Amino acid sequence: MKKMLCLFLLLAGMTNVYGQKVALKSNLLYDATGTINLGTEFGLSNKWTLDLSGNYNGWKMGDDTRWKHWLVQPEARYWLCQKFNGSFFGIHAHYAGYNVGGIKFLSDNMENSRYQGHLYGAGLSYGYQWLLGNRWSMEAVIGAGWAHLDHDKYPCATCGSILKSDTKDYFGVTKAALSLIYFIK
């Protein structure tokens, strides 16, 4: 089935990105939250690429709400047909710093507390990329894995007294992206 799909793409003339080496991307899901983000993906071989993304949200959302964070997330990707086209599987790592709290829609705890700290972890992902044109593409990715959070808890978004220091391990969604991509030739 995979070979038939590759043959179809060859016959349809949709292999113009086969020789691509670099792509720039923006995750529209992060854009929707006001998070500045930029990703770049490098072709390593016919079926392997390295995706590097960075994200930053330093905006203050009112006096009692914090959603500040930065995140770095590298990912090695194996493409089932050819790089930058169709399905891929990835393994990613992540490291972030955060200062979040006073967020009413998440939980009572997040509404009444603030957490400041760092996280690190890793996960596996699946994605698909659609060619839109000679230089443009769209990509959807979902990933699951583990993150270790090391943080201090404060009584409110603007308070400076630490209530406690804690660590937590999270298992679940660690990556979600709907990205617009531009290829550099």
In a domain? residue 7: no
126-174 pLDDT per residue, tens:
999 999 998 999 999 999 999 999 999 988 766 778 899 999 999 999 9
Give the count of domains, the chain. 1
Q: How far is Cα 97 from Cα 150, in angstroms, rounded to an integer?
A: 10
**What residues have CB less than 8 Å from 84, skipping those under 6 apart?**
17, 18, 20, 23, 41, 43, 49, 129, 137, 183
3-state secondary structure the chain: CHHHHHHHHHHCCCCCCCCCCEEEEEEHHHHHCCCEEEEEEEECCCCEEEEEEEEEECCECCCCCEEEEEEEEEEEEEECCECCEEEEEEEEEEEEEEEEECCCCCCHHHHHCEEEEEEEEEEEEEEEEEECCCCEEEEEEEEEEEEEEEEEEECCCCCCCCCEEEEEEEEEEEEEEEEEEEEEC
To 5 degrees, how large is the angle CA 68–CA 72–CA 74? 155
In a domain? residue 10: no
Instruction: Return the higher-pLDDT residue of 8 and 147.
Output: 147
Residue 118's CATH number: 2.40.160.20
**What residues make up the domain containing 31?**
21-184
Burial 89-98 (b: 16+ CB within 10 A, else e): ebebebebeb
Question: Which pLDDT does position 67 carry in this prediction?
Answer: 78
In a domain? residue 145: yes
pTM (two decimals): 0.82
In a domain? residue 3: no
117-137 pLDDT per residue, tens:
999 999 999 999 999 998 999
In a domain? residue 11: no
In a domain? residue 6: no
Q: Give the pLDDT band (50/70/90) at residue 95.
A: very high
In a domain? residue 2: no
As a whole number of Å, the end-to-end CA separation of the chain is 30
Residue type, 153: K
CA distances to 18, 45, 67, 137 from 2, in Å: 16, 18, 43, 21
In a domain? residue 12: no
